Structure 1
Amino acid sequence: MLNPENFLKELFNVAVQKAHPDDGLLTALSVVAKKINGRTIILGAGKGAAAMAAVAESYFEGDIEGVVVTPYKHGCPTKTIEVIEAAHPVPDHAGQVVARKMLAMVEDLTANDRVIFLVSGGGSSLLVLPPEVIELSEKQFINKQLLRSGASIDEINCVRKKLSQIKGGRLALRCAPATVHTFAISDVPGDSPSVIASGPTVPDDTRIDDAREILARYNIQVSDSVDLYLDEQSCRQPDWATLPETNTFTTIRTPQMSLDAAAEYALSKGIRPIILGDLEGESREVAKVHAGITRQIIKYDQPCKAPCVILSGGETTVTVKGNGRGGRNVEFLLSLTLELKGLKGVSAIACDTDGIDGTEDNAGAIMLENTYQRALLKQMNPRDYLENNDGYCFFNGLDALIFTGPTRTNVNDFRAIFIQV
């Protein structure tokens, strides 16, 4: 009989390993010429940017130059490409410095030149350059509100694109007439190129009115300067026709790939996988749906008999109302613990594949069959912790947090519920 804790942790490890760019990026780069007559500039942004840069610079021949930005502690050694670390998920001055440096690098490029852009989750916060009339502090304030509002990632990135000189295709416009080849690790449901890191090299498919509606719906407070800027931009649209037809976008890693890898591992252990795919919604509500499926399996053998494992990914949200600590994964797992109340034969894991759940130092946590009862014995009421958005402290009190450190990749959340009965 499988040890639930070991099995779940190995599932997560398999998912993270599959998300790494190494072989996938080299394979994707093979369709791009190793050497050209013009300049080759390598740029990148995201949690996997440094790891991707190390792979990319080993592929190209001749002189290359470039810079990438990645979160603090996510850097790794490179030979030629400069790696700069900045803040995530709320941007800081370092991210603004990198953005200006990138734009300076692509000035005066010709049709003989090319830009290799390496993008992964987290790039939206790391690559920050608000319009001149908007202060960085204003962008930070809006970002903090959005992160606590319960808005989905595509809604948050819609607003980010409208308040940027580099996101929403604007980097590609500055690179023209040079060709831009983008290679991406997706961390968003549906893998939309325009949503991954707010699509710096992809034409923006959203409108100013979309951003205004999102700001209003989530009651996001903005300054007069932001309001005025949005008004002025409402009648100005970038000329996407100036982008070279030779521009390409290749996704090298996706959440589905990691779910498939975990499913294959489960099958190798004789455990039937049920893949629910990329999911969105409030973390605690998504947990209730997972709990319902779990009970259906145990009671009715539907959609399959145990032993089995339910796998899901995506990016849920948390509308923060309490003062506790934790990200969306411990929120999910705490809600699941409360719903199942120690249901026999059920254990679960919920972690972020980047190794950081929200803004904390853990990747996520694990729930075992005895977690609920152990909490009650310690006089830890799961409902109280959930109402205070305090999943970190709940699982920390049970020594059930999972720490991996930065994984230097990101295909978003990974959840697995193992049912043995």
Structure 2
Amino acid sequence: MTQAQADLPPIETLFNPHSEEYMTDPVPGCLALLKRGRLVWYEPWQAWIMTNMKDIMQCWKEEYLSSDFYDWEFAPQRPPEDQWSNFERAMIGHSLLADHDHHRLVRRVTAPAFSRNVVDKIQERIEPDVKKLFDDLGQPESFDYITEIAQHIPFISITRMVGIPEKYWPDIRKVILTFTETWNPTISDERREAARQDSNRAIDIIREVIAERRAEPQQDDFLSTLLRIEADNPEFEEWDIVTLILALVGAGADTTLVAQQWSVYSLLKHPEQAEAALATPEAFSNAFSEINRWGVSSKMGFARYAPADMEVLGHQVRKGQMILMMPHLKDYDSDYYPEPETFDVARKFDPDVLFGYGPRYCIGAALAKRQLYLTLTELFKRFPNVSLAEEPARDETDHNAIVFKQLRLKTNL
């Protein structure tokens, strides 16, 4: 460390994603962290933070760090296979955290399940449910978008897309949203273990649904497609199906709920751009990248782990240490984006790294954006003069993102 760096205040005094200051305005903290260096030690989390976008993209592309939760120095000891619970079977050796070769196999064989044609069919399947949500809402003077609409969308989408029968939904809804907490370094061991047990119960339900679908395979949904892929590819097995569904339901539901809030909030703060943003699914795809850039809702990043003692960006990193890649730090960097304070749904993103980059690019990105587009177009169709009823208060209890306690809208009918 140079003398100039030693004289700087501890980075945790400038960057604290769980502080009221960050929730109110995350930009100063993100810029302070970005400017501190390409790899920064963050004492509160006992983790390194990778700040530079070029370095992050190279790490995504080359995969020189581990994605395996059990390689983290603070993870519970990796149990022997004869003691694995559902959680271990999903997290060890399968599609979420698989070795490079198997992960590429999973992506290759499942690509047809995420094609444009499939996404179009999924939209047709969930559109009646979205319309019913708004029908049930009626024409109130005002309403909370989160409780009335946003909280229901991820579950509707997954129910129709994956093909999980609605009879299972009350049980799986209770346990699936905590999946992303199982590898969060900022929460207590007790909370992480509770999330692990929730994941075990969710996987029991998913496997029961898979068994039912094997008995009645001729259904036009994502799960039936995966079962056909399994039949044609010996190296693709049931646990790959489980982890794919777990990723879509767990991580997808969590992030989609955040995206719903920020998409509505951003467009209502800039109503003159709503029409352009929602002109077509392709226009919204680009607008959604701007919504995420402008909102800076992230608190953390993408977790990776050092597979051995190694040098990373000029620093000695010990085996097992976490390295958090934080691509959102660039979002208000004027060297990366011209006029970053300006919200512009036509802003060019090249490359667009919102959903990752390289081999680990989020395979469900198109699905996530399409369900958002469908819901927002319905909102503005029903309430063309909709506006914010008040500036929403931030919810400090969310472990992963800046979210709102409520998002009250005036319909102005």
Shared fold, TM over 0.5: no
Compute the TM-score of the two structures, normalised by the length of structure 2: 0.24
TM-score (norm 1): 0.23
Q: Name the one with the larger strand percent.
A: 1
